Amino acid sequence: MLSVLSIKLRRLDLPPSICINLVNFYHYPDLTMTPEQSYLSAKNIPPRRRLIFAMDVPSPEEAKKLAEELGDSVEFYKLGLQLLMADGYRDLIRWMRARGKDVFVDLKFFDVPQTVASAVKQVSESGALFATVHGNDAILEAAVKAKGPLKILAVTALTSLDRADLDSLGFQANVEDLVLSRARRALEIGCDGVISSGMEARALRENLGEKLIVITPGIRPVENRQEDDQKRVMTVEDAFRSGADYIVVGRPIKDHPGFASPKEAAESIQTKIASIFG
């Protein structure tokens, strides 16, 4: 739900970046309006739901055990390909939903449009909130038509890719231009949001305002950043200041370096988010 101030500003037909700055100043008057803070999300999302935990474990049984250990420190879970290849993926979605958790189905659907539409319809009926789709306009259009209450997120450029990877794949545009181009097309087609590195989130907000949900993976808390396969990473604070609505965190919580447990690591991130959004 938009704030009254947001609605009034939209009626004035001001540029998106100005509207965002004014909304942030109204809601967060204690913040100095530096460039790093200009794109703080104005969407009405409960702060603790802005953290999405990537549940990358081999089986639903392990997922349930970890979810129970995390308790109320995590309210939103991303379920991906590893769990899909184990028995009980849909049952796990239902189990999560029965406990009041939101679910993000991250399977990056990429196939002929009719097949993607059928898969999206199945996900929509499962009770999940978000699903990712990866592909051309026809694939995205099919997903949007079939989505029902489900929110479709278009994949822009994986955070495991850098400039050299894009060169090897034949993309001549730089990463920011590629992400912005794909985000614009996703918005025109009717997608609800995009998956984007925090390094490109600022450009999305500058050009598209608050129109799209921006979910940023590759989050590495500054005090325990690890060397891994994520190349375009960002800290919790920087991701949100750059315009992310949600962040996805996996290994820093599951492996919990520097913390006694996954729950303690998740709560540390939740404390940072609370300090940002109040």
Active-site residue set: 108
**CB of 191 closer than 8 Å to CB of 167:** no
Write down how long the chain is. Answer: 278
**CB of 265 closer than 8 Å to CB of 251:** no
CA distance 209 to 224: 32
CA distances from 207 to 10, 18, 53, 76, 222 (A): 15, 11, 28, 28, 28
Listed in sequence order, the residues at least 6 apart from 201 whose beta carbon sits closer than 8 Å to its beta carbon are 39, 214, 216, 239, 242, 243, 244
CA distance 76 to 47: 11
CA distance 47 to 133: 26
CA distances from 196 to 202, 214, 216, 241 (A): 10, 7, 5, 14
Q: Which residues pair with 216 in a beta bridge?
A: 247
